Amino acid sequence: MRDQTSAPAAVPRRPPQPPGTAPHAGSRPGAHPAEPDPAGPDPDAQPPAGPDPDAQPPAGTAPAPPVGTAPAPPATRPLGERRLWPRSFADRLTTPMPGLRAYARLAREGAFRPGPDGLRGIPDLPCAPAPLPVLAPGTSCVTWAGHASWVVRTGGLTVLTDPVWSRRILATPARMTPVGVPWEDLPPIDAVVISHNHYDHLDAPTLRRLPRHTPLFVPAGLGRWCRRRGFTRVTELDWWEAAELGGVRFDFVPAHHWSKRTLLDTCRSLWGGWVLTDTRSPAPRKLYFAGDTGYGHWFAEIGRRHPGIDLALLPIGAYAPRWWLRDVHADPEEAVRACTDVGARRMAPMHWGTFVLSAEPVTEPLERVRAAWNRAGLAREDLWDLPIGASRCW
């Protein structure tokens, strides 16, 4: 779904504040359509644990520089733990939400979708569905289903990221390309990770296809939404927290984004990315799924805390107009910089070629990321610019 959230470029980036502080001045709700969201406390919730030594820095301080040795990973939290969360996570915003002047400019310019020339490339979008490859022992594999949806097989688990198998999402034209993996061709799903609650990343019709005992790993504040839909194994995590399932560690890490699903829930749940680590292999394989994010300081800190990332799944689309979206959606050049910041060996682009969410020509993200990768002097074989439906293993 279109993320109408970027502040004007003149607003400086601010370091995030700790949970429970007041939101930034000028924060305003975005323009996502409403879905009913009844309020009320969760009677089964348990109080949160004490302060986390790896929590985000206090307001007004810069994040720790990416130097020295990586800190020891935090202890994993119990699966399915019920917790109490702050009413708002607006203090985690990198920049304030846009104000009335920004919305007025957007309405005046009307740059919501590509023009006819920008849509002519739809038939050329790369789409090559193929059966999932057979995995050799000790290997990992990713298959791009489209947008931010991946079939990740690692450590003996099959994990879906932000699964959206629907033909269309709310207030957005139908998919430009088909889903890369038919639902009936999927192996049994061992877990699902969700980056945030926007409709193009959290798709209720797709989740309804899953058994209700499927483990879900979701951002802080989103567990109640999942449990109301019958899911019984929901693990909510804050930034820099982790849980483990079947020999795979799930670390929730920050992103430069926001959350909203109804008229009244702006930033009521957190947003972020995931680092998945196969902990049982002699040489643990590590994958970073960035979710939805702008470019900023968090990438270097993720790389410092999680060294040795083998593959970064990074968004490259939905970035125009730039003045409106730069704070919440990285462009292709910024995605390449993010890959080097996190220290990933390889990058697989995503978040393009599936839904028309913004004004850039539909094939431009791929052209620009290839050019940026080449300018950075990086090995061409380490840019996994997959067609939708294709797989790569390592």
Question: What is the DSSP track for 38-103?
Answer: -----TT-B---S--TTSPPPTT-PPPPS-SSPPPPPPPPPTT--B---S--GGG-SSPPP-HHHH
pLDDT at 72 (0 to 100): 85
Which residues, listed in sequence order, are joined to residue 141 by a DSSP beta bridge?
Answer: 153, 393
Asked if pLDDT for residue 59 goes beyond 60, the answer is no
pLDDT at 3 (0 to 100): 43
pLDDT at 261 (0 to 100): 95
Taking residues 115-128, report their average pLDDT.
Answer: 96
- Report in angstroms the alpha-carbon separations of 263 from 100, 104, 277: 17, 19, 36
Residue 357 and residue 319: Cα distance in Å, rounded?
A: 9
Taking residues 132-150, report their average pLDDT.
Answer: 96
Asked if pLDDT for residue 34 goes beyond 60, the answer is no
Asked if pLDDT for residue 37 goes beyond 50, the answer is no
Asked if pLDDT for residue 47 goes beyond 60, the answer is no
Residue 322 and residue 292: Cα distance in Å, rounded?
A: 16
Asked if pLDDT for residue 283 goes beyond 90, the answer is no
Report whether CATH 3.60.15.10 matches the domain 132-393: yes
Q: What amino acid is encoded at 191 in this protein?
A: A
User: Helix 364-375 crosses helix 332-342 at what angle (to 10 degrees)?
Assistant: 50
Residue 104 and residue 28: Cα distance in Å, rounded?
A: 14
Residue 307 and residue 292: Cα distance in Å, rounded?
A: 21
Mean pLDDT value across the chain: 86
Taking residues 14-35, report their average pLDDT.
Answer: 36
Taking residues 262-270, report their average pLDDT.
Answer: 95
Asked if pLDDT for residue 14 goes beyond 60, the answer is no
Asked if pLDDT for residue 13 goes beyond 60, the answer is no
- Give 326-371 pLDDT, tens digit per residue: 999 999 999 999 999 999 999 999 999 999 999 999 999 999 999 9
Asked if pLDDT for residue 60 goes beyond 50, the answer is no
pLDDT at 30 (0 to 100): 38
CA neighbor of 238 nearest in space, from 258, 225, 221: 221
- pLDDT-based confidence at residue 1 (cuts at 50, 70, 90): very low
Number of Cβ within a 10 Å radius of residue 84: 10
Taking residues 41-55, report their average pLDDT.
Answer: 45
Q: What percent of the chain has pLDDT over 70?
A: 83
Residue 156 and residue 76: Cα distance in Å, rounded?
A: 19
Per DSSP (E only), the strands in the chain are 141-146, 149-154, 157-161, 191-193, 216-219, 234-237, 241-245, 248-253, 273-278, 286-289, 311-315, 346-350, 391-393
Angle at Cα 256 formed by Cα 252 and Cα 260, nearest 5°? Answer: 85
Asked if pLDDT for residue 88 goes beyond 50, the answer is yes
DSSP-based three-state secondary structure for 301: helix
- pLDDT-based confidence at residue 68 (cuts at 50, 70, 90): low
Which residues contact residue 3 at a Cβ distance below 8 angstroms, ignoring those fewer than 6 apart?
Answer: 30, 198, 257, 258, 292, 318, 325, 328, 329, 357
